Amino acid sequence: MSTSLSGKVAVITGASSGIGLAVANELHSHGMKLVLNSRSEARLAPLESEVGATVLAGDVTSPDLPKTLLDLALSTYGQCDVVLNNAGLIEVGPIESIDIDKVCAMVRTNVEAAYRVAYTFMRHFVDRGEGHLLNTSSVLGTKVRPTAGAYAGTKYAIEALSEALRMEVAGTGVAVTCIEPGLVRTALHRDWPVQPSEALNVPNPLTPEDIARSVSFVLNQPAHVRIPRIMILPGEQQI
C-alpha cells in the first residue's frame, strides 16, 4: 500500500509484541521505514526480514537509549519523522499486597523512560520543523479505578506532558498525540491469575491491530490537522 506515509521513518519502542508490533506491521504496510526497539533480541530479530526494519534490543530505561535510537534512524535512513513512545509495564493491586518495588520499576519505564524518549525526539523534531510524537497512554490516563491508581498515575503523567508539549509546538509542523486504548488483549496480562476481560466483563477486548489502525489514521491526517488524543474502547467497556 502506498500512502502519504510512504518513505517516512518511524521509531517504535516496545515493538516486539502487542501494540508496538501491530503498529510496526501497520506502518510497514503504508510504506514506512522502521527502527524498532524492545528488550527482547529474540523477538526483535525476525522483524528485520518480516518488515525490513532496523532493530536494536535494549532496555528503554537506559538513559542513553533514546538518543541511540534517534541516531540509528538518522544514520540508517537520513531522517526521523515519527516516534511511537510505547514501551510500558503495568502493576496493579490493593494497598495491602501491591509490590512497591514493581510499582517503582513501572514508574521508571512508564514515566522516566517515556519522558526521555519524548524530549529527545521532540528536540529533533523542533529543530527540523516537523515530526510527530505519539505517546501510548491509556483510558486510565483520563480516569481511575480501585487498585490501579499507580498505573493510572503513570498515564496521567504522560497525558500532562503530552498536552504541555502540544501547546509548546502549536503553530509549527510538529504534532503530539496521546493514544488512549481501553482493554486490549496483549501479553501484558499474561501472568494475571484472572484475565481483565473476565474481571471487567469485557468478553471482546480490543486487538493490537485495532490500535494500530488508529495510529495510521492519526498519522494520515492533512498537515494542518492535529489530533491531541484518540481514545479507543471495546464496545462493552463501561469505564
Cell of 37: 526497539
136 closest CA partner among 206, 62, 73: 206
Q: Where does 9-232 sit in CATH, by number? A: 3.40.50.720
Residue 226 burial by CB count (10 A; 0-12/13-18/19+): exposed, middle or buried?
middle
127 pLDDT band, cuts 50/70/90, is very high
Q: Rounded to an integer, what distance in angstroms lies between the CA atom of residue 16 and that of residue 82? A: 18
Give the angle 193-194-199 at the CA atoms, nearest 5°.
160
pLDDT for residue 1 = 38
2 pLDDT band, cuts 50/70/90, is very low
Instruction: Spell out where 102-238 has E strands.
Output: 130-136, 173-181, 229-232
151 noted as active-site residue? yes
The pTM assigned to this predicted structure is: 0.94
pLDDT tens digits along 196-232: 766 677 888 999 999 999 999 999 999 999 999 999 9
- H/E element, 55: strand 54-57
The packing angle between helices 114-128 and 65-77, to 10°, is 40
pLDDT tens digits along 77-104: 999 999 999 999 999 999 999 999 999 9
pLDDT tens digits along 16-48: 999 999 999 999 999 999 999 999 999 999 999
Residue spans per domain, the chain: 9-232
Q: Which of 77, 115, 119, 151 is catalytic?
A: 151
> How many CB atoms neighbour CB 59 within 10 A?
13
CB 235 within 8 A of CB 210: no
> Does 189 have pLDDT greater than 70?
no
Give the least confident one: 153-162, 174-183, 191-200.
191-200
